Structure 1
Amino acid sequence: MLTTSNTLKQISLLSDFSGYGSIIAPSEGALSEMTLEQFSRLSCWNAQSITDGYNRLLEIVEEGQKIYYPLWDQGDADTDPSIKERYLIHFPVKKKAPFVIVCAGGGYLGCASMIEAYPTCVHLNQLGYHAFSLNYRCGENAKAPNPLDDMAYAIDYIRKNGEILGIDISDYAITGFSAGGHLAACFGTESAGWKHYNLPSPSAVFLGYPVVTMGEKSHDSSRIMFLGKENIYDEEIISRYSVELLITPDYPPTFVWQCTRDHTVPIENTQMLVNALTENNVPHKYETFDSDNHGWGAGDGTLAEGWIERAVSFWQN
């Protein structure tokens, strides 16, 4: 059983995670030497939630189940090495049930999965759902449509392997935070997401403090990485990936939340999204919290605590 006193390097070196330990926890550099408690103090993160995510993964592996699914083969990687960044971490439940894909944020510079996705997956498991943390292409490989391609590939993979994975492929939701929220929200659109990729629509979208627009009120890093520095003033490309401009009456029911004084992504992002959902009569629920924080993830120990349970209830109803 891991505690908040374990270092990230210790976690990466666990024999249970042999072959992919350095993928799910930093194994080198200054961060790797930090305990989970020390790491959480870098921002508003919850050390116990992060620990719970890793302990759930250990529990799954110790039960003899597979968690790491690389979504590439060597032939494709020889042509495009960037796709080695594309993989799923599966948090299964012991029954055939719908699934949720969770996309952590990170400004399209990286995926903060251990902070946001893994703890969220723990909650989703407790509610009876299969959950997948998606690692999508970031950094120099984040330029559109790569992350959307990765989301589509992951959903197609899960659907094709539903029997093996023990999943009910008839129903799924997508969840995202910050830049990962932009990815999830964008995939909910017909023009850039599910319909464009000839996939069924998600039945719900859950968004925590998402980047929504690629216009003036966007998050600078997310916009630069996703559009490409050369395209940040190209109105056609901006419009193609600004979610508030892409909402139609067929957009999935949406649960969205954000802190009112978010110091990273302007609150106008969620406001623009909610306005577009309202104008198109899309069922939605919007929660705000009086704080300047960004990065609460599963929300444990914060004003947003319980948002996952409320979002799933919204989906079920």
Structure 2
Amino acid sequence: MAQFTLNSTVNDVENYFGNAGRLLFPVDRPFNPNETLAQISNSAHYIWYSNIKTNKTVEVLNYLAAEQKKHQIFYPIYSEDEIAAHPSRANTGLYFFRVKEGAPFAINNAGGGFAYVAAMQDSFPHALEISKYGYNAFALIYRPTNPYEDLAQAICFIEDHATELGVNPRHYSLWGGSAGARMAAELGNKEVLYQLTGRSDIPQADAVIMQYTGFSRVSSADAPTYVSVGNNDWIANWRTMKQRLFYLEQLGIPTEFHVYSGLSHGFGLGEGTVAEGWINDAINFWEVNMHN
């Protein structure tokens, strides 16, 4: 029986999950605890996002509710001492969409213009879909003021707790939309990864999966990169994204590019649009480069 419906409130959800529920909704934007899931599923709450699907929000929450009965679903990435030193680190952590033990993993990073974390629209749905393909998936809740530090910390945490989490520490991908895509691209770069983690034992991501961002830096240390974007995106120009992949290809780095007619910024999984199913291509791209 479903735990949550369209009429469940933010307060209902947070109370059900307890400590694991505090970061399900953005802490950097005002959400009325008495609003329903249907009432918050719009671009007034999740600014810069389109194609928001309330049914997917309900599906994600019911999945996590079922998982919480069997497994831990939320993991802090900083220790108590580290949080005491910088209290804002309490607003970080990983939601785990767990599948079979020993499978590779993906880290999903939502966008939000480095002003808030739009996880319910831009990383939770992706993590859930990735798990359906048999891969472990995490959704990172990061601080908009310290996004790269938090993603580096998350990568280290998963690598150091791979046995406990039941994931393959040698194979992973980094996913992101908008601001989150910038995070994925930066930490997908081998040199930046080592610089921000201070560790040479962590492998580079097999692939970076990016949606709708104007990130343009190119380096021979970048990871294989997949891109999807709409041609009606007034925030991230599709030509900028395509040009970056052209230069990556010139460096011998595998790429794949998809532009979707009429879509604007923040279309997420693209359900019910011309982009529906793009995640199948992205996972295939990861798999090919994982084996390479």
Q: TM-score range by the shorter chain?
A: 0.7 to 0.9
Q: Deviations over 1:10-56 (max 9, x none)?
A: 21121xx1123222136995543332223223343111122211111
Q: Deviations over 1:109-164 (max 9, x none)?
A: 111111111111110110001101111111xxx1xxx3222111111111111111
Amino acid at match of 2:135: Y
Taking a change above 3 Å as real, the CA distance of residues 152 and 29 of structure 1, as seen in their structure-2 partners, is closer
> CA separation in 2, counterparts of 1:51 and 1:9?
14
Taking a change above 3 Å as real, the CA distance of residues 125 and 292 of structure 1, as seen in their structure-2 partners, is closer
Q: Are 2:61 and 1:61 equivalent residues in the alignment?
A: no
Counterpart in 2 of 1:206?
209
State the aligned residue count.
276
Q: Are 2:289 and 1:288 equivalent residues in the alignment?
A: no
Q: Are 2:122 and 1:119 equivalent residues in the alignment?
A: no
Q: Tell me the SS of whatever aligns to 1:202.
A: coil
Give the superposition deviation at 1:270. Answer: 1.2
> CA separation in 2, counterparts of 1:309 and 1:292?
18
Q: Are 2:53 and 1:46 equivalent residues in the alignment?
A: yes
Contact kept in structure 1, 2:20 and 2:73, CA below 8 Å = no
Q: Tell me the SS of whatever aligns to 2:33.
A: helix
Contact kept in structure 2, 1:188 and 1:251, CA below 8 Å = yes
Select which of 250, 269, 278 maps to 2:249.
278
Q: Are 2:15 and 1:9 equivalent residues in the alignment?
A: no
Counterpart in 2 of 1:245?
217
Taking a change above 3 Å as real, the CA distance of residues 32 and 264 of structure 1, as seen in their structure-2 partners, is farther
Amino acid at match of 1:299: G
Taking a change above 3 Å as real, the CA distance of residues 171 and 9 of structure 1, as seen in their structure-2 partners, is same
Q: Are 2:31 and 1:25 equivalent residues in the alignment?
A: no
Counterpart in 1 of 2:171?
171
Taking a change above 3 Å as real, the CA distance of residues 158 and 267 of structure 1, as seen in their structure-2 partners, is same
Contact kept in structure 2, 1:148 and 1:193, CA below 8 Å = no
Q: Tell me the SS of whatever aligns to 1:84.
A: helix
Give the superposition deviation at 1:201. Answer: 0.3
Contact kept in structure 1, 2:177 and 2:210, CA below 8 Å = yes
Q: Deviations over 1:64-123 (max 9, x none)?
A: 200111112232223222222221111101332000000000001111111111111110
**Any stretches of 5+ residues in structure 2 without a counterpart?**
44-49
Taking a change above 3 Å as real, the CA distance of residues 79 and 30 of structure 1, as seen in their structure-2 partners, is closer
TM alignment of 1:172-251, pairs within 5 A: 172-194=172-194, 197=197, 198=199, 199-212=202-215, 244-248=216-220, 250-251=221-222
Taking a change above 3 Å as real, the CA distance of residues 273 and 32 of structure 1, as seen in their structure-2 partners, is farther
Counterpart in 2 of 1:218?
none
Amino acid at match of 1:4: L
Contact kept in structure 2, 1:137 and 1:147, CA below 8 Å = yes
Amino acid at match of 1:45: I
Give the superposition deviation at 1:167. Answer: 0.8
> CA separation in 2, counterparts of 1:12 and 1:47?
17
Amino acid at match of 2:213: P
RMSD: 2.0
Counterpart in 2 of 1:35?
36
Taking a change above 3 Å as real, the CA distance of residues 30 and 60 of structure 1, as seen in their structure-2 partners, is closer
Taking a change above 3 Å as real, the CA distance of residues 273 and 50 of structure 1, as seen in their structure-2 partners, is farther
> CA separation in 1, counterparts of 2:285 and 2:31?
41
